[in-house]
Structure 1
């Protein structure tokens, strides 16, 4: 019975770590959180290894050893859920609540509402139009970029239903953006293809992933840092290829 409880402590710690990774936390925070939770429940030693898609933990409880591995298929940045998970991990370390209480809190965090779809479309429009104007676009370019940005949100949602591959999503998204860009210029809305495209590109440009990669390298997480950097560079190339491909024809 005691062995079963010890394994459940590790399961709870891994559940928290998996959600942290799923919602965009850095690997150093994930490893530290899992280590602290296991230690709070009595572990004498905890060895954690995490990269962008995998977490592996070995927990030592006296002479007993428990190991679990989690594979994360997809991730996204969600600062609200990360904040809630950080607070939960602090509460676990300070108060040592029951496993059932922690599981219920994780379900509450998972069920937290997202921003409304209309708000996300408006955000895409605002980002596209603002950056288009910032980089020298005209008022017509800004209007075109804003409308295209709003239309790209449904395109992104549709693509994500069939694939969670970031490279495929970026390429399909940029091809759709390039086609819409060419269509708007053809019907007379907008004047400069490149400036409208810049505004749309800024929606999906992996700046955060690139920054996280550099940060991981500086704190010593070399493998994770390199993965983030390579992924960000390839995604950026896929985004550029889509717009350039369409521009070469139209």
Structure 2
């Protein structure tokens, strides 16, 4: 962030990036308020890192020299490459979680899928680096795997802490997404009872049959939001 703030304070930067036909003609500044900010900051910074070295080498100041040394430090730039890659993956997840019409099932599916992806990233960080193109470009597979592995393990632990307590099971989520796909009624009612202790298994089973035999609803083949909106309880007003 210090490098970016220094560079953007220079009125000559945009002119320089335009003249050298860089991939970006300006750099973004991180904003804690705006979602996706960190990933969006790192992307252009990484893309024009070589041009930035040339620009800094032309500046006559102690700070410019300090920041040039940062950009020329292989270990520090490896960390930047890794962060650019992992924040890109996090940005993809964030985008998928946005929107007004996402159902609970869709949101949890995206989160669970990303948790599995993190485990895949963890295994690949010591091997092919398929999912870390910037890191692979920089290190050719000869980087500090242990450092990146530790960060991924912390990220996995954070997701586990944040979402593993969300105990809606597969049968309940399937019920919400598509009631007609529930075939094991006993398994569904048992799982629902564990999640919602106030429910009664007998009532759940009979009401499920009533829902599934609603021919008009089944033939309509509508999405989950439209289907469940038909069962909304009118407000007191």
* Same fold flag (TM > 0.5): no
In proportion to residue count, which structure has more strand? Answer: 1
TM-score (ref. length: structure 1): 0.26
